[in-house]
Each structure stands twice: as C-alpha cells, then as structure tokens.
A = this chain, B = another copy of it.
Amino acid sequence: MDGHKTDESARTGEAGTPGPKKRRTSPAARELTDVDRRILEVLSADARIPNSTLAARVGLAASTCHSRVRELEERGVIRGYHADIDLEATGSPLQALVAVRLRAGARHLLRDFTTRMRSRPEVLDLYFLASDDDFLVHVAVPGSSALRDFVLEQLSAHPEVASTQTNIIFEHTWVAAFPGARAAE
C-alpha cells in the first residue's frame, strides 16, 4: 500500500508575487482570481444567498457575479451545493469512524469495497488513506446496535477485510469547505 508517488510534481510558481502580467493560457487549470476566491468563500458559507447579495459582498454587479459563478460551476471548481442536515433530527445521532484494513492479497477487490461502502445508507464519508489502515469510513447510525451490525455485516463478514477498528465520534465540527474560507464572514 505504500510507496505511491504523487503526481503533482509539476507545480508552477505562485502568481501572488508582483511580476509580469503574463496571461494564463491554460483554461482548465487557470488560477482563481481574488474575486473568485471571495465568491467561493461566501457560497461555501451560504450556498443559497441571493445573487444580488453575493454581488454586493464581493463588489461586483449582479450580472457579472452571476456569470462568474456559472463559470466556476462549469469549470468544476464548484462541484455542487449541499444542505447541511442535523443528524440527530434524522434519527442517527451516533457517529463513528471505522478504520478498515484490507487483506494484502485482496487489493483487486478495492473497487468492490468502495462501491459497496458508497451504497450503504449509513456511510457519510469515505477516506482512502496512505497509511496502514486503508480506509476510514465515516458513518452515522441510530444507536450502538446498528453500529455493531454495520461493522459485523458490512465489514468483518467480507473476505477482503482484514481488520477493523471502530472509533466513536463525540463531536464532529465542519470548519470550512476549502482552506482559507472562514465561517465568520
């Protein structure tokens, strides 16, 4: 599982420093402008803010702001908008992070495993790690018995799973959608 090379060796210099106003010619990897960044910041804090209000906050006309947002959506910078739901209200107040280690000989079942995890209703997030534990599965369940059932039936019972370790979550705090974004605008 170790020894993977990251593929981000080709990193150009930062544009933040003063210098030549060279035009960025790669549209897909174009860097974000300062206004773009502020738009993302506001939308990550409140995705349903009216476009006119957003425009005023970032100092743009409404139409301009709208086209910027659309461009960010089309470029894939904004991947979507999601409602943040109170898990207690949905009847699943118990959260856990389950560390899963796969059997070394069953790595070809990795895709099956991720597919199954993503199809399970209890699963909220799936972290594929570089460490000894291959996955960290973030789940929410109604109670401890449902947690036990999930771990036993969806993880331990499967042959590709070598071991699991279940960690109860006392509290999960969402801080930001991306680095630099602040909840307190």
Is B90 a contact partner of A80 (Cβ separation < 8 A)? no
27 contacts between A and B (CB under 8 A): A4-B170, A32-B91, A44-B85, A46-B80, A47-B81, A75-B89, A76-B86, A77-B85, A78-B83, A78-B84, A82-B84, A118-B173, A121-B180, A121-B181, A124-B177, A125-B172, A126-B172, A127-B171, A128-B169, A128-B170, A128-B171, A129-B168, A130-B167, A130-B168, A133-B167, A139-B179, A140-B178
Interface residues of A (CB under 8 A from B): 4, 6, 8, 11, 31-32, 37, 40, 43-48, 75-87, 89-94, 97, 114, 117-118, 121-131, 133-134, 136, 139-141, 143, 167-183
Copies in the complex: 2
Give the residues in chain B near A4, CB-CB below 8 Å: 170
Give the residues in chain B near A170, CB-CB below 8 Å: 4, 128-130
